[in-house]
Amino acid sequence: MFSGVASGRSIPRLPIATVGAALYLALIPAMAHAAIGFVGATTGENGSGSASLSIAKPAGVVEGGVMVATVTAAGTGSVTTPSGWTVVKTLTQGSLRQATYYKVAGSSEPASYSWSLGSSRAASGGIADYSGVNQTVPVDAIVSAGGESGNAAIPSATTSASSDLVLAVASFATGTTVTSDPSTTERVDVKSSSNTSNLADFVQATAGATAAKTATPAVSSSAWIAQTIALRDASQATLSATTTAAPSFSANLNSGDQAKTFTVPLTVSDTRTGVGSGLGWNTTITSTQFSTGTKTLPTSISTVTAVSSACLNGGLCTNPTNVVTYPLAVPAGATAPTAVKFYSAAAATGKGVFTVTPTVSVAVPQNSFTGTYTSTLTISVVSGP
Amino acid sequence: MRGILAGRRKPLGRATALAALAAALIASAPTASASADGPTFALKPVSPTETGYFIFKGQPGQTVKGAVRVLNVGTVAGRTSLYAVDATTGQTSGAVYRSRRDPRRDVGAWIKLSKGSVSLAPGQSRVVPFSVQVPAGTSAGQHLGGIVAQRSAGKSKPASSGKEGNGFKVRIQELSVLAVQVNVPGAEHAEMDLTGIKAGSQPGHQSVLLGIGNTGNVLVKGRGTLRIVSKGGHVAQRSSFGLDTFVPSTHIDFPVYIQGKALTPGRYRGTVSISYRGHDLTRTFPFTITAAQTAQVFGTQAAQQTPIDSSSSDQTLVYLLAAVALLSLGAAFYFWRQRRPA
């Protein structure tokens, strides 16, 4: 039951040199992450069917822990979310519904949770409880897949943070036993008369694409649904911004002044937890004026005309409330002058991972010198008043 | 007509011309090519704070201590510089943070970080202690600065390779800033000032600039309105605006963009009203929109352009002519060899 994710770190009988090296690594100031830990799991099923599915609270749940539930129900009808739970994703395939949820445990939790099925339907499900999960933005990534028969192909997800715990969730439209992928640790495997729920997990140490997994049912002739849900490590909670953009453009000036635009998609992540969560953030911009090295363009030619924002972590964001108005002149000079705020998230907003994309218009004067012009945009993400 | 592509205007064969046109069209499309992922650094207080940033209470002459956690939340290892800066008010209001090169006179000068740079693997973090030494004689009120994490230059992402000779490239530099506010005990007073109105000059967007200052000693936010009346008494503009965090002892020319019909050249009176921390302030200022200013915003920018770099265009032409001459010589030599009796 308590074969937690972190348990594999114990070091039995190692040579002295190895122990010394381990001690050295443990003592250097740079800290590696703290892992998400498995606390416990429970399952529930309602036999040949009833109007609800009850699943007990796992043992060991404490305030701040994150519970993840998977529910599989016969038929495609909806499933009512219990109070306090948040839907991660709900899907149908053939005559099967799969829904996943999370809940950050409060100081007092009931002994069990009930999912209303609307009518008498066979259902199965389970709850897995984890410690060390980011309570503000628990989910880093979600992807799903489905099929009419065969094994459940649990798809690759792309995580954005280090040391995620990845859940491989599978549902089958038959009551069977399921073998989780051998590279995962099975936490839930339960069946009703006509469907099966399976949940396993594995650690994704570094951000990037997870390996695809397979859940293998004993009876493989039924429809299946799979979800990959990456849980975010609380120790990685922070406010950050990054971009891979390196915009470039050309302008034909033979027909007069040119208004060219480019975008700078930024990934802004506000996953701060505890008292520091939901405080909002600001982004600021400044620039060096376009220059060939010897010739420069005017300092007033760049303007932010719009900024868009989109949630990246499966829609599980609190969208930013932005008060900046546009157009907004981008400061420019031989050295970058004082910045201006170009997008902000008011307090209690902007929680999650977003693509924030400013569109910058550049009014290139007709009578400019020939040459290759460069400019450096300095973009800051700020936690401050 | 001597634009960036001017060097191409040599007579060309049809196929060559079509290819050049296609290339030019492709080149003129803005792109935002991606470069490899790099380290991404973030900062957070070691001990959680109710604001998400540092707020210290510091008497003049006192030194207070703090610690910041530096994280690499990117996908590869890297090194980040750490430094402290002063805050000021951005032109559109809101607290912004000065650059590393700017002189530090306030909180940025008071912060002493125990490390100036940190190297971290992905997912790693490191605690960097720092002290804030409030100078003797510091005035009462709220002082603002910040700690900045800036990826070391050697690891910065390169701009994409545009078409040499006729392109625009934009390099992006990312900073992470964690504010440090120092409250020096004493009488606090919130006071704003309005100092005037003048025409803005941003191409394509007519605006007026409102002179607004924070002459008090605390951070303030507020709201405001602007009403512009022409010399004939016609109300030409009504606008409302928000004022984001205004840092004490700072002054900005706050832009208000003209909505609807543009202001024609002439004399106007603008009445500005701002509300902040329970205070209201209203002032009326005369201002003038000149024909030159209107042309600068809406017309050609010839007036502010630098002269044409004829030498550059001429050089390109010379190179082209030289290339054609070389090709012609080569072709002539080839045909001469072909016709030469064995």
Query: Tens of pLDDT along B164-203?
Result: 346 899 999 999 999 999 999 999 999 999 999 999 877 7
Contact B96 A340 (CB under 8 A): yes
Q: Which two structure tokens, joined as six digits, stand for A23? A: 């001690």
In angstroms, the CA B310 to CA B308 distance is: 6
Residue-wise pLDDT tens digits, A268-321: 999 988 765 678 999 999 999 999 999 999 999 999 999 999 998 877 899 999
Q: Judge whether residue B35 has pLDDT over 70.
A: no
Residue B132 touches chain A, beta carbons under 8 Å: no
Q: Which two structure tokens, joined as six digits, stand for B316? A: 């390109």
Average pLDDT over residues A113-136: 97
Q: Judge whether residue A6 has pLDDT over 80.
A: no
Contact B204 A32 (CB under 8 A): no
Contact A382 B168 (CB under 8 A): no
Candidates A91, A209, A86; CA nearest to A138 is: A86
Q: Judge whether residue B218 has pLDDT over 50.
A: yes
Q: Judge whether residue B120 has pLDDT over 90.
A: yes
pLDDT value at position B302? 33
Contact A367 B175 (CB under 8 A): no
- Of residues A254 and A170, more confidence is placed in A170
pLDDT value at position A273? 81
Average pLDDT score over chain B: 80
From the CB of residue A324, how many other CB atoms can be counted at a distance below 10 Å? 19
Q: Judge whether residue A4 has pLDDT over 80.
A: no
- Of residues A287 and A24, more confidence is placed in A287
Candidates A271, A199, A285; CA nearest to A234 is: A271
Most A-contacting residue of B143, B161, B170 (CB-CB within 10 A), to test interface: B170
Here the ipTM equals: 0.81
Contact A248 B95 (CB under 8 A): no
Q: Judge whether residue A169 has pLDDT over 90.
A: yes
Q: Which two structure tokens, joined as six digits, stand for A20? A: 């010394």
In angstroms, the CA B335 to CA B337 distance is: 5
- Of residues B9 and A371, more confidence is placed in A371
Query: What are the C-alpha distances in Å from A337 to residues A136, A262, A287, A289, A333?
Result: 36, 21, 7, 10, 6
Q: Judge whether residue B277 has pLDDT over 80.
A: yes
Q: Which two structure tokens, joined as six digits, stand for A244? A: 């891979």
For residue B205, which residues of chain A lie inside 8 Å, CB to CB? 303, 327, 329
Average pLDDT over residues A326-331: 94
Interface of B with A in 47-66 (CB under 8 A): 48-53
The minimal CB distance from A363 to the residues B120, B203, B242 is found for B203
Residue-wise pLDDT tens digits, B128-166: 999 999 999 999 999 999 999 998 754 344 444 444 346
**Nearest chain A Cα to B313, which residue?**
A370
Measure A343 CA to nearest chain B CA, in Å.
Answer: 11
Contact B166 A377 (CB under 8 A): no
CA–centroid distance for A7 within its chain: 25
**Nearest chain B Cα to A256, which residue?**
B1
Contact B53 A383 (CB under 8 A): yes
Query: What are the C-alpha distances in Å from A203 to residues A164, A211, A233, B37?
Result: 6, 11, 10, 21
In chain A, the N- to C-terminal Cα span, in Å, equals 46
Contact A370 B166 (CB under 8 A): yes
pLDDT value at position A369? 85
pTM: 0.79
The minimal CB distance from A382 to the residues B97, B118, B219 is found for B97
Q: Is the peptide bond before B255 cis (omega within 30 degrees of 0)?
A: no
